[in-house]
């Protein structure tokens, strides 16, 4: 799914993938900044817990966002595809000033929300300036190309990753979560070897990429983001490798961003920013 076009004179909303296991206390920098972007005390946060099989996931995030200072926070019941055309829930979603997709299983998000009025509305809302965040599975689902599942490990291996269409708020990145904690460098490299157009964002836990309307990625949280830029890829053996064989990739550029550093998805330039000035 491709992003909805932004109307002349308007700006797309922030896209905020979170690597999972984010701090949820009052001093959480990730969730507090998301609430601020959504309007602070006037924020109306729509929580979509579809990825989770835990019945209390939506209620827990309602409490977290209210504690942080959001004016309203409500979980919407999109548990099956038939729910995604329910007019009352769609009206509540349409009134939201910020949307948050919880963790769980990203394939539940793709198979339940994909191709429904909910997915279309989320793309339109993002294009109209509404910030949309997702944690863990919710983060993976935000982009056009989604890692459905894959093997862990440091090396890319043929056939070790399955891709699926995602929500389509951006087509510039492929996102992987719990990155350092679950040793997922190899599977993100494999996903990029299939199609080196996109940029890989590997998000550590309790770490978020705040993707601004100008396509600048800013790191917020306690960990790092691994940026894999395949624009200079000179050679890939993906087309020759048999299943589970390692893949040769030459010319890949890799950046490690910590809070204070930025990366521009359009120019593909990394900047140490506040880190270099000692303010990170």
The pLDDT value recorded for residue 2 is 82
Q: Of 270, 197, 272, whose CA–CA distance to 236 is shortest?
A: 197
pLDDT, one tens digit per residue, over 87-104 is 999 999 999 999 999 999
Determine contact, residues 261/217, Cβ cutoff 8 Å: no
> Active-site positions?
136, 178, 205
Residue 276: φ, ψ to 5°: -65, -30
Neighbours of 233 (CB within 10 A): 15
| Res. 1: pLDDT tops 90 | no
The pLDDT value recorded for residue 159 is 96
Element (H or E) spanning 262, and its range? strand 262-264
Residue 109: φ, ψ to 5°: -65, -45
Q: Say which residues have a Cβ less than 8 Å from residue 206's Cβ, sequence separation at least 6.
A: 19, 21, 22, 23, 30, 221, 222, 223
| Res. 26: pLDDT tops 90 | no
pLDDT, one tens digit per residue, over 221-243 is 999 999 999 999 999 999 999 99
Determine contact, residues 38/90, Cβ cutoff 8 Å: no
Q: Say which residues have a Cβ less than 8 Å from residue 251's Cβ, sequence separation at least 6.
A: 230, 232, 233, 234, 235
The pLDDT value recorded for residue 216 is 98
User: Percent of the chain at pLDDT above 70?
Assistant: 98
Chain-centroid distance of CA 17 in Å reads 3
Whole-number Å distance between alpha carbons of 153 and 161: 12
Secondary structure of residue 52 in the 3-state scheme: coil
pLDDT, one tens digit per residue, over 170-221 is 999 999 999 999 999 999 999 999 989 999 999 999 999 999 999 999 999 9
The pLDDT value recorded for residue 229 is 98
The pLDDT value recorded for residue 279 is 60
| Res. 280: pLDDT tops 70 | no
Locate tokens 């040793």: which residue?
Answer: 183
Determine contact, residues 71/38, Cβ cutoff 8 Å: no
Neighbours of 126 (CB within 10 A): 24
DSSP string, 72-130: EEEE----SGGGGG-HHHHHHHHT-SEEEE--S-HHHHHHHHTTSHHHHHHHHHHHTT-
pLDDT, one tens digit per residue, over 41-90 is 999 999 999 999 999 999 999 999 999 999 999 999 999 999 999 999 99
Q: Of 153, 132, 156, whose CA–CA distance to 142 is shortest?
A: 132
Determine contact, residues 136/12, Cβ cutoff 8 Å: no
CATH topology of domain 15-153+162-170+204-221+254-272: Rossmann fold (3.40.50)
The pLDDT value recorded for residue 27 is 79
Half-sphere exposure of 66 (CA within 13 A, CB side): 10
> Which pTM was predicted?
0.97
Q: Say which residues have a Cβ less than 8 Å from residue 250's Cβ, sequence separation at least 6.
A: 233, 234, 235, 236
């Amino acid at each position: 799914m491709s992003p909805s076009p932004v109307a002349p004179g308007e700006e797309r909303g922030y896209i905020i993938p979170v690597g999972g296991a984010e701090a949820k206390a009052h001093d959480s920098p990730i969730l507090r900044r998301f609430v601020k972007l959504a309007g602070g005390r006037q924020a109306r946060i729509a929580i979509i817990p579809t990825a989770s099989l835990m019945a209390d996931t939506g209620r827990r995030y309602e409490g977290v966002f209210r504690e942080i200072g959001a004016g309203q926070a409500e979980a919407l019941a999109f548990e099956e595809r038939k729910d995604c055309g329910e007019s009352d829930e769609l009206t509540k979603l349409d009134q939201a000033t910020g949307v948050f997709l919880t963790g769980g299983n990203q394939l539940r998000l793709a198979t339940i929300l994909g191709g429904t009025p909910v997915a279309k509305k989320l793309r339109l809302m993002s294009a109209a300036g509404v910030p949309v965040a997702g944690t863990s599975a919710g983060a993976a689902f935000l982009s056009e190309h989604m890692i459905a599942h894959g093997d862990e490990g440091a090396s890319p291996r043929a056939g070790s990753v399955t891709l699926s269409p995602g929500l389509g708020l951006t087509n510039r990145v492929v996102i992987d979560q719990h990155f350092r904690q679950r040793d997922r460098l190899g599977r993100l490299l494999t996903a990029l070897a299939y199609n080196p157009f996109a940029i890989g964002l590997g998000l550590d836990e309790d770490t978020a990429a705040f993707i601004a309307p100008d396509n600048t990625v800013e790191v917020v949280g306690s960990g790092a983001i691994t940026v894999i830029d395949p624009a200079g890829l000179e050679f890939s053996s993906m087309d020759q490798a048999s299943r589970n064989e390692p893949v040769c990739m030459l010319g890949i550029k890799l950046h490690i961003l910590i809070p204070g550093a930025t990366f521009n998805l359009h120019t593909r330039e990394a900047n140490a920013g506040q880190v270099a000035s000692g303010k990170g």
